[in-house]
Amino acid sequence: MSMAEIADACGFENANYFTRLFKKEFGMTPSQFQKMI
């Protein structure tokens, strides 16, 4: 699943905004998190 698809599924219209908020909350980008799991 792409980051844009994940952002959309979470209710975000802008994938870049989702990425910024995710990094602020979790200290890593969604891609970095995805590689861990």
- Model confidence pLDDT, tens digit, residues 1-37: 888 999 999 999 999 999 999 999 999 999 999 999 8
Rounded to whole angstroms, the Cα distance separating 10 from 26 reads 16
Distance CA 24, CA 35 (A): 18
Predicted pLDDT at 1: 86
What's the confidence (pLDDT) of residue 32? Answer: 95
Residue 7, pLDDT score: 94
Domain boundaries, the chain: 3-36
DSSP letter string over 15-36? HHHHHHHHHHHHSS-HHHHHHH
